[in-house]
Amino acid sequence: MDSNKKVIVLTVNGRRQTVPVTPSTTILQVLETVCTKHKFESDEFGLKHHNKALDVSQMIRFSGLPNNCTLEMFPLETKRTSQNVDLCIQLESGERFQDTVPPSTILVDCLKKLCPNQFGAMKNPVVVYMRTEFYGNDLSSKCLKDIGINQGRSLIRLVDKNPEELKTQANVYVPLKPSEKPKEEEAKAAPKSKHGGAGGFSITKDLIEKIKPSQKEDNEPRDQSPNRDPQPSTSKGVSSQ
């Protein structure tokens, strides 16, 4: 996705605010950015696109919003309240740790609370949520709300891998090259004919038995009848008068 992607937000007071976004930016982060600049309470407003309200916990990557699209702020009937999240952390081994935490909890605090021993033993801890990797400074600067976890139940994966390896290993398949057999092995593996022929015409017993009777017929003497003299013609000549 283009790193220069941005959205335009039409505020309730008729002003337009341009907000640069990334694929991992949530709709709530866009709303909070606009409300901070124009001194609004983000919990009292929402965003909609073409008169359709957007889920504030959704990322730009999965929202389907085009570049330079216009979003419109609208007041909510009831103020948005934050609820505790039932968070589950899954390790590479399949082991899971679950607990209830507020959405404002920093990622590194969640890891220390749910799986402190496993997290402390990792050299390169990486949190994966919705096909997005968070590592390094992201773990200490982003909270659950920043990555789109506001309420309900959510599962994140914790792996100990190099971030560059995560980006290159997914959906990559390298077909194996067929093994080339030496010519000697191919010659040994080649099928041989039953009668020792080298790929030519092989003489079988049936063919020999068919040939023998025809040879006997050719060798048998033929009846030679004596030459007979031609019989004189009995036709009488017509006398001329």
pLDDT digits (tens, 9 = 90+) for 71-104: 999 999 988 887 899 999 999 999 999 999 999 9
Instruction: Specify the CATH number of the domain 85-164.
Output: 3.10.20.90
* Overall pTM > 0.95: no
**pLDDT string in tens for the chain (241-residue length):** 455 789 999 999 999 999 999 988 999 999 999 999 999 998 899 999 999 999 998 889 888 899 999 999 999 998 888 789 999 999 999 999 999 999 999 999 999 999 999 999 998 999 999 888 898 898 999 999 888 888 889 999 999 987 666 555 544 444 555 656 555 665 565 555 555 444 445 566 666 666 666 555 555 555 555 555 555 555 444 444 4
CATH for 6-75 (3.60.150.10, 3.50.50.60, 3.10.20.90, 3.30.450.40): 3.10.20.90
Pinpoint the alpha helices (H) of the chain.
27-38, 60-63, 107-114, 116-120, 137-141, 163-169, 183-189, 205-219
Check for a shared fold between 6-75 and 85-164: yes
